[in-house]
Amino acid sequence: MAIIGIDLGTTNSLVCVCQDDHIKLVPNPLKEVLTPSVVSVEGEGKIVVGAVAKERLVSHPAASAASFKRYMGTNKTFTLEGQTFTPQELSSFVLRQLKRDAEEFLGEEVTEAVISVPAYFNDHQRYATREAGELAGLHVERLINEPSAAALAASRISQEEEGSYLVFDFGGGTLDVSIVDYFDNVIEIIAVSGDNRLGGDDFDEVIARKFCTEHQMSYDEMDNRQRAILLRLCEQCKRTLTTQNEEVLTWETEGEEKTLTLTNITLAELCQDIFDRMGQVITKALQDSQRTIEEMDEIVLVGGSSKMPVIAFYLQTYLGKKPCIIGSPDEVVAIGAGLYAGIKERREEIRDLVLTDICPFSLGTNVVNYSNSDRPLMSPIIERNSILPSSKIGYYTNAYDNQKHLTIGIYQGEAYYCDENTKLGEIEMDILPTKRGMTQIKVCFTYDINGILEVEVTDRNQKKTIKKVLTSEQIRLSEKELEKRLAELKRYKLTSSGGVRAKLLLARGERMFAQLLGEQRQEVAQIMQWLQERLDKQNDQEIVNSLKEAEAALDRLEGNKR
């Protein structure tokens, strides 16, 4: 049975399979390999995923959600049409769509997947991704870090036998910077750094806030529909600036046409804060790797947002080295995930590759802060960028005379104080009362390549050991809860693959109707009515011709010659 590789992205997602000794990207019902990571709830428990849902962000903002990957592993929820969903549940709908596309492409059932995640995802975020897979009916034995997948694909595409890469992975919602070595069919991650709240979406918001400032509008006080319209226009403006140097953003609102002229130079000036954050991530990755940029053979651009000219210009200015694109930045992570799925299937042509991974965050326990007992200090046991699997030991003792009890907290992060790191769990242990410093406690952390942490605490005085396996307990559902939620989510059916292009045009028309004013708005209404009449006739050839005509008419109105 085939194992599929999935790039579950903030903005777009892709699925890849190994078929006939080749890695192939799977098309969706629109014959495109990029599926927007957007979910919309229709009536009667129907779920729309992808391009149609993206159009509905404007026309049905209360029923639609995007960029939910940014909140994986948190307690944030999204309410769509009165139903509350977690980020992993919304992600599960995207995965269900990708799973179905792969099954139609392969002609067989798919039950297992390799899913890519940002290297800087913590344990909670990684567990949430696994949970999304389970809710989608997929067994996810392995998550692969996005830069690992990118390096795997780049090594295959470039046909280079060895090299050192700085992988700059900039997607819609996350930034990962990784230092990667490739030699003797081994891909080794040396160091990673990242920002899970920095991506192309931030450029959209900067443009939107600039537009509002120019026209004395309040971005923060806009309703959901207004903000969705403006952000959609800003995204289109940003995309246009990828291929040309100037664009005029135009929005008819509040009874008048408002414009903002942008060039790549002005965009770079507006986004200086974003570039400063990027610089911090790059510097940390290089420092942790103990490498210099001169030692890197290539700066490899990965992720759709890395295609912006301002990104390449910034990197060349900041690092003094021109970045390169190997393959398509949108597709390279998915191809790498597909390659790794092929490795798991033990495909003869790729099974000789070895992929190593590292721990993106330090793991440690709490020690007493005698200056402020309310804020224990972090004592790292497995430090960030340790090669996985890793097993390290820390030795501790009782902090006070006649102490009878220990609470061994388990933390993830780099901060000096434990309360500024992520708490993964704790182990309680009774000890024999004795003088301070006389109890001998051994704490062993074992962290594997699948993100499972085993903690073993031994009181050497009593020869007593307590073990605990941690898999993000704070957010994980119990087996019973998972089964219950799975049953509830099954009530929501993905819309059928047939007629997706018609649904997309109708959704696009609804979005444009909400966006435009006056005569153009009425023209959109006429196009939609005309198209619906022809769809109702159910004449296949007439429908094909009508879809072409309607698409051309909407293109003309939108000034978008796609």
The neighbour count for residue 509, using CB atoms within 10 Å, is 23
457 and 523 assigned to the same domain: no
Question: Which tokens sit at 380?
Answer: 């790292």
8 and 143 assigned to the same domain: yes
103 and 136 assigned to the same domain: yes
* Rounded (to 5) percent helix, strand, coil in the chain: 40, 30, 30
Provide the pLDDT for residue 562: 37
Nearest to 130 by CA among 412, 471, 421, 449: 471
Provide the pLDDT for residue 561: 36
Residue 492 within a domain = no
Using CA atoms, how far residue 39 sits from 91, 115, 226, 453, 513, in Å, is 8, 19, 19, 33, 20
424 and 533 assigned to the same domain: no
Segments in the chain below pLDDT 70: 159-160, 346-353, 471-479, 481-482, 495-498, 560-562
Question: Which residue in the block uniquely carries the two structure tokens 């009181």?
Answer: 459
395 and 526 assigned to the same domain: no
Residue 174 within a domain = yes
Residue 485 within a domain = no
Which of these three, 296, 329, 357, is where a domain ends?
357
74 and 138 assigned to the same domain: yes
What CATH code is carried by the domain that includes residue 309?
3.30.420.40
Provide the pLDDT for residue 497: 61
Q: How many domains does the chain have?
A: 3
Residue 486 within a domain = no
350 and 379 assigned to the same domain: no
What CATH code is carried by the domain that includes residue 458?
2.60.34.10
Find how far residue 533's CA is from the centre of its chain: 40
Query: Dihedrals φ, ψ of 434, to 5°?
Result: -155, 180
Residue 430 within a domain = yes
316 and 437 assigned to the same domain: no
Provide the pLDDT for residue 478: 63
- Using a 10 angstrom Cβ sphere, with 0-12 exposed, 13-18 middle and 19 or more buried, the burial of residue 88 is buried
Provide the pLDDT for residue 477: 60
Q: What is the residue range of 404's domain?
A: 359-470
73 and 118 assigned to the same domain: yes
Cα separation of 86 and 81, whole Å?
A: 14
Which of these three, 357, 382, 415, is where a domain ends?
357
Residue 533 within a domain = yes
425 and 307 assigned to the same domain: no
121 and 162 assigned to the same domain: yes
Provide the pLDDT for residue 333: 92
Question: Which tokens sit at 275?
Answer: 């570039």
313 and 439 assigned to the same domain: no
User: Which pTM was predicted?
Assistant: 0.81
Residue 484 within a domain = no
Residue 491 within a domain = no
Provide the pLDDT for residue 520: 86
Which of these three, 342, 357, 372, is where a domain ends?
357
Nearest to 38 by CA among 82, 97, 81: 97
